[in-house]
Amino acid sequence: MSNSAASETLIGLPMGQVWRIADEYQQAGRLDEAEELLRRVLDAAPRQPDALHLAGLVDFRKGRFAAAAAKVELAIQHGVDTPLYWRNLCTMYERLGRYDDAVNAGERAVALDPADAGAYHNLTVVHYRRLDIDGSIACARQAIALDPTLPGSHFALAEALLLRGELAEGWEEYEWRFRIPGTPPPLPNATAPQWDGAAMPDGALLLVADQGYGDALQFCRYVPWAVARCGQVTLACSPELESLLRPAFPRATIVSRWESAPPYQAWCPLSGLPRLHGTRLDSIPAAPAYLRADPAAATMWRTRLDALVPRGFRRVGVAWAGRPTHNNDSNRSASLATLAPLATVPGIALISLQKGPGQDQIGAYYGRAPLLNLGPELNTFAETAALLEALDLVIVVDTAVGHLAAALGRPVWLLLPYAPDWRWLLGRTDSPWYPSMRLFRQHAPQEWTGVVADAAAALRQMPAVAQR
């Protein structure tokens, strides 16, 4: 290229070598250093496709998706038709919510390199986001056919199958989740094999509350089933769950430190129990309430709310954001501002259950319904459970507090993204997992207005509460 000589003079190294160093930095997560090197390369050679592509990857990893896509588009414009560029551009568009563009980019990638399993995998994800589940499953199967050891594609296939209600095959594919690179093992230093579900009347089983809090709350329903099959069951969970789960499962030992767990003959992640149980849609163990709050703590909250919430107002718990590090957080989390239509419903008070950075949005809430910020006072799920008992309704995005409310049998409305997590299935407004739950689905990707309006309209239809 005409200006590469200038860059060599400027940097003092051949440009290819600089690019390689930048790539190493990028792969090692040293993004600032990679970015600085690439900036210098691009100053000297603004159209250098590999540098543009790599700079796009750095942008992507820094969460600057639009800038990333723009750079890769430029790389494509100034380079050869490189399948890798299209493959990566597919994911960048996907993160930007530009699903049609993402499909076109992904299809271009597989057209250029039909043997690229990674490109099929990216298309699997995009099709899922567009709720083209047939397309998603087809791409996943194609990726697996090309590379049967690709864990991400097995997992993506699991999600699509489970979403469609094909649980048997879905559970099997779901087992690949721990093989995804970078996923920590659920049980560090396991000293016994993973449980196969066979009865162990004299054996000790260690269950591990893996995945997020929501998963733990959803799958802990299987603890009694495991207790019935094993002589001794221990459930290892995070401290935030401990005080909630201990009274719920008195025949199991609940621990929050590995060193507190007794010796075991087998172990199993909680999220592996549905497979072992052979759960089908019509055999989900779905008791109306399988967790319970401390009655005294619930009474304390009721008394407190009586003092803080206007008499006769319905107490509606809300949470609008999940853990920001969740890989689908940009789709599942909303903002308090998007819940504004709920605040226009007369006779309700919003009780914020929000924890984490989303809590700051409360300072900018000026809706008509009074909002009581109780999130800062909730440290454990047991405390949250007690508060939930004192509420009339909970309206939340797909986050742990929704699972908790439903596991307690409290009325809960879940606001779902267009392509929801597999457990919420397709189309339906109820959940076979939770009898007290009602599902509200986005009408279009990343479009909260309609789904919140639906929930607000339903809220208006609810009968008033009796005067407290």
**Which C-beta is closer to other proteins: that of 211 or that of 338?**
338
Interface stretch with other proteins, choices 210-218, 276-284, 310-318, 320-328 (CB under 8 A): 310-318
Does the protein bind other proteins through residue 362 (CB under 8 A)?
yes
Q: How far is the CB of 97 from other proteins (least distance, A)?
A: 24
**Which C-beta is closer to other proteins: that of 301 or that of 433?**
301
Which amino acid belongs to residue 74?
Answer: L
Among 238, 260, 344, 379, binds other proteins (CB under 8 A): 379
Interface stretch with other proteins, choices 14-22, 41-49, 102-110, 363-371 (CB under 8 A): 363-371
Distance CA 396, CA 410 (A): 13
Q: Angle formed by the axes of helices 117-129 and 83-96, to 10°?
A: 20
Query: Position of tokens 């009694």?
Result: 224
Among 4, 104, 338, 359, binds other proteins (CB under 8 A): 359
Query: Position of tokens 């606001």?
Result: 415
Among 90, 223, 291, 374, binds other proteins (CB under 8 A): 374
Beta-carbon count within 10 A of 349 CB: 19
Interface stretch with other proteins, choices 119-127, 164-172, 306-314, 431-439 (CB under 8 A): 306-314
Contact of 428 with 439, CB cutoff 8 Å: yes
Among 292, 323, 365, 438, binds other proteins (CB under 8 A): 365
Among 361, 446, 447, 460, binds other proteins (CB under 8 A): 361
Among 75, 144, 371, 396, binds other proteins (CB under 8 A): 371
Does the protein bind other proteins through residue 363 (CB under 8 A)?
yes
Distances (CA, A) of 246 to 216, 220, 237, 239, 275: 13, 11, 10, 11, 24
**Which C-beta is closer to other proteins: that of 156 or that of 374?**
374
Q: What stretch of H or E contains 172? A: helix 167-174
Q: Among residues 468, 1, 423, which one has the least CA distance to residue 212?
A: 423
Distance CA 15, CA 17 (A): 5
Does the protein bind other proteins through residue 368 (CB under 8 A)?
yes
Does the protein bind other proteins through residue 9 (CB under 8 A)?
no
For the window 60-89, what string marks contact with other proteins as x by the rule CB under 8 A? ------------------------------
**Which C-beta is closer to other proteins: that of 360 or that of 430?**
360
Cα 362–chain centre separation: 23
Does the protein bind other proteins through residue 466 (CB under 8 A)?
no
Find residue 234's DSSP bridge partners.
Answer: 206, 253
Distance CA 46, CA 75 (A): 10
Does the protein bind other proteins through residue 288 (CB under 8 A)?
no
Encode 416-445 in three state secondary structure: ECCCCCHHHCCCCCEECCEEEEEEEECCCC
Does the protein bind other proteins through residue 299 (CB under 8 A)?
no
Q: How many residues lie near other proteins (CB under 8 A)?
A: 24
- With the C-alpha atoms ordered 219, 220, 226, 231, is the resulting torsion angle positive or negative? positive
Q: How far is the CB of 369 from other proteins (least distance, A)?
A: 9
Does the protein bind other proteins through residue 225 (CB under 8 A)?
no
Which three-class secondary structure state does DSSP give residue 195? coil
How do strand 348-352 and strand 430-431 relate by DSSP bridges? Answer: unpaired
How do strand 371-373 and strand 430-431 relate by DSSP bridges? Answer: unpaired
Distance CA 420, CA 398 (A): 8
How do strand 434-441 and strand 430-431 relate by DSSP bridges? Answer: antiparallel
**Which C-beta is closer to other proteins: that of 343 or that of 456?**
343
Which three-class secondary structure state does DSSP give residue 288? coil
Does the protein bind other proteins through residue 148 (CB under 8 A)?
no
Among 377, 426, 443, 457, binds other proteins (CB under 8 A): 377
**Which C-beta is closer to other proteins: that of 202 or that of 466?**
466
**Which C-beta is closer to other proteins: that of 139 or that of 459?**
459
Which three-class secondary structure state does DSSP give residue 102? helix
Does the protein bind other proteins through residue 303 (CB under 8 A)?
no
Does the protein bind other proteins through residue 313 (CB under 8 A)?
yes
Does the protein bind other proteins through residue 366 (CB under 8 A)?
yes
Beta-carbon count within 10 A of 114 CB: 12
Does the protein bind other proteins through residue 373 (CB under 8 A)?
yes
Q: How far is the CB of 374 from other proteins (least distance, A)?
A: 5
Distance CA 373, CA 375 (A): 6
**Which C-beta is closer to other proteins: that of 200 or that of 348?**
348
Q: Which residues bind other proteins (CB under 8 A)?
A: 307-308, 310-313, 359-368, 370-374, 376-377, 379
